[in-house]
Amino acid sequence: MSPLGPTLETERLILRPTAAEDFEAWAAFAGDPEAARFIGGAQARPVAWRGMRSMAGGWALDGFAMFSVIEKASGRWVGRLGPWSPEGWPGTEVGWGIAREAWGRGYAGEGAAAAMDWVVEALGWTTIIHTIDPDNAASIAVARKLGSTNMGPTTLPAPYEGVRVDVWGQSREEWLTRWGR
């Protein structure tokens, strides 16, 4: 376990708190207009740096934040996913963002399922949401695979108040029952 938080493992992934060595891959991901299309848009390196450190700060201050996603087979950083609940957010979210070179491998669903197990058990979350742009077919498919349902549109806090998103989600009981946990 990192001093900031746990390390979770799935069949193909290691999920761990953000680390300084993640920055180059994080910045490439955050700067990719296609990969960042539905998560606020492409970011310059200095903005990505601040975002990555905000995630590390979440671990230090709140005891949770999105995990860095490490592909076991290669040791590469391939994204970030997990718990996210900033000030003014519409709920306790498990979100995901995977680097484009790792798309199509099922990593978002595999990692999100492990993160959802962790948030209900370790953090005691009673509701898990995913805020998803209605045009983001790939994330909608992941949410459905996880058993979440569309609960309707919501408003995000500044600076995203003009972004169109729907809340997908489920209760702790639905998650645990659905997966026989």
Domains located in the chain, CATH noted:
8-178 (3.40.630.30)
Are residues 40 and 27 in contact, defined by beta-carbon separation less than 8 angstroms?
no
Give the H/E segment covering residue 151: strand 149-154
One digit per residue, pLDDT tens: the chain, 181 residues?
A: 667 899 999 999 999 999 999 999 999 999 999 999 999 999 999 999 999 999 999 999 999 999 999 999 999 999 999 999 999 999 999 999 999 999 999 999 999 999 999 999 999 999 999 999 999 999 999 999 999 999 999 999 998 898 999 999 999 999 999 866 6
Query: Residue 4's pLDDT is what?
Result: 81
Query: Residue 157's pLDDT is what?
Result: 94
Buried b / exposed e along 121-142 (16+ C-beta atoms within 10 A): eeeebebbbbbbeeebeebbeb
CB atoms within 10 A of CB 172: 16
Q: What is the CA radius of gyration of the chain?
A: 15
Give the H/E segment covering residue 139: helix 137-145
pTM attached to this predicted model: 0.95
**What Å distances lie between residue 126 and 91, 134, 137, CA to CA?**
10, 24, 26
